[in-house]
Structure 1
Amino acid sequence: MNRLLAVAFILFCIEVGLFLVIVPWSELWDSNFLLDYVPYLRPFILHKLFRVLVTFLGGVDILIGLSELRHFLRSFRIAKRTLE
């Protein structure tokens, strides 16, 4: 069960990271429903610096996922060696 949770966390981090890297630069970002309900946030959300910050957060999330993947594979190799 612990391995399953580790794999789920790794996939979650990478998927959310990819989403945060790609979406701020797509048309989906411009037609955000939040912009309709809170129009005074429009200049901030559509500003390039805000998009860069969200993309940076996505990159950090991807790096966390890859780091967890590395630790998971390393622990898997160590466990395999101890069984032999």
Structure 2
Amino acid sequence: MTPLPHTPEAPPRKSGSSPWLRRSDLFVRVIVRLYIGMLLVVLPWTHIWDDNHLLSYIPYLSTVALSGVVRGVASGLGLLNMWIAAAEAMNYREH
């Protein structure tokens, strides 16, 4: 068996996007996640959640959606969303 000819290793590929584009992408993702997280934390405890007309069409779903457990889960998901946004913003590294 003949040895393969030595080929030099390719240099690492750089990302095709510029640094300002990566930063603006991070900014938009963090802002959207924070906004959605704040909505999920606050919305279940307001009258908007209680007066939802979509829930009037399905009465048994209304009792589930208005329970404290479902409201707490929605708020917990909002807190998790804000946590992920903050962690992503703090752990951002330039390449």
Q: Same fold (TM over 0.5)?
A: yes
Q: Which amino acid aligns with 1:71?
A: N
- Structure 1 runs of 4+ aligned residues shifted over 2 Å read 36-40
Q: Match of 2:56?
A: 36
Q: Which amino acid aligns with 2:28?
A: A
Q: CA deviation at 1:60?
A: 0.3
Q: Which amino acid aligns with 1:33?
A: H
The root-mean-square deviation of aligned C-alpha atoms, in Å, is: 1.4
Q: Gaps spanning 5+ residues in structure 1: where? A: 80-84
Q: Match of 2:74?
A: 54
Q: Relative contact order: is structure 1 or structure 2 higher (C-alpha 8 Å, sep ≥ 6)?
A: 1
Which of 29, 34, 54 is 1:9 aligned to? 29
Higher helix share: 1
CA distance in 1, matches of 2:68, 2:27: 34
TM-score (normalised: structure 2) = 0.72
Q: Gaps spanning 5+ residues in structure 2: where? A: 1-20
Report the identity percentage: 28
TM-score (normalised: structure 1) = 0.81
How many positions carry a matched residue from both structures? 75
Which structure: larger Rg? 2
